[in-house]
Amino acid sequence: MKKLVGADLQRLSVSEFKTVEKWPFVVVLDNVRSMNNVGSMMRSSDAFLCQQMILCGITATPPHREITKTAIGAENSVSWRYQDHTIDAVKGLKLQGFVVYAIEQTSNSVFLQNMVFPNQAVAFVFGNEIDGVDAEVISLCDGVIEIPQLGTKHSFNIAVSCGMVLWEYARTRV
């Protein structure tokens, strides 16, 4: 067994990534405080050919050393834009025909493993590390996805949650 290195993996260059067809999903960050989380989520978004990221509210934007440290170049490959208010981002996505899901724990959330994703463009809203997705934003969403947790903690790190949701979305599409 040989461990694969960069050249063996035949990864896309940034310019190739920008021209390849993206999967029909958008990642929305609702007031994410940690720049390390932003960078890590950019990396996951790159890995799964995210159409775009929308960074809202207090969410930091590139260029910044703390984002670059965890994005490792994904801040240059993934298309992103900043929007002042998450509510406006969600409303805009819905007008474009996206089905919007908050990643949160609510009384009517669907567990990630039971999720049946629609055959149309979707947006995933990830919230603040302390307060989660804002309640007003949740009320605008078409649904809520919950990642089941079995231990004593009631939440995953937001970047870990992003990786799990994007993996499950990708797994059900291929």
Task: Find out whether 75 and 63 touch, Cβ atoms under 8 Å.
Answer: yes
How many angstroms separate the Cα of 46 from the Cα of each of 12, 74, 99?
A: 10, 6, 21
Distance, CA of 27 to CA of 33 (rounded, Å): 16
- For the chain, domain boundaries: 14-173
Task: Find out whether 126 and 164 touch, Cβ atoms under 8 Å.
Answer: no
Residue 28, pLDDT score: 98
Burial class of residue 36 in the structure, from the number of CB atoms within 10 Å of its CB (0-12 exposed, 13-18 middle, 19+ buried): middle
Residue 3, pLDDT score: 92
Distance, CA of 41 to CA of 85 (rounded, Å): 19
Confirm whether pTM is higher than 0.85: yes
Alpha carbon 64 to its chain centroid, in Å, reads 19
Distance, CA of 4 to CA of 96 (rounded, Å): 41
Half-sphere exposure of 88 (CA within 13 A, CB side): 9
Amino acid code (one letter) for 143: G
Mean pLDDT split into 10-residue runs, the chain, 174 residues? 87 92 97 98 97 98 96 96 98 98 97 96 96 97 96 92 98 86
Residue 155, pLDDT score: 87
Which residues, including other chains, have CB under 8 Å from residue 143's CB and lie 6 or more apart? 99, 100, 101, 102, 109, 110
Question: Under CATH, which architecture does the 14-173 domain have?
Answer: 3-Layer(aba) Sandwich (3.40)
Q: Which residues pair with 23 in a beta bridge?
A: 50
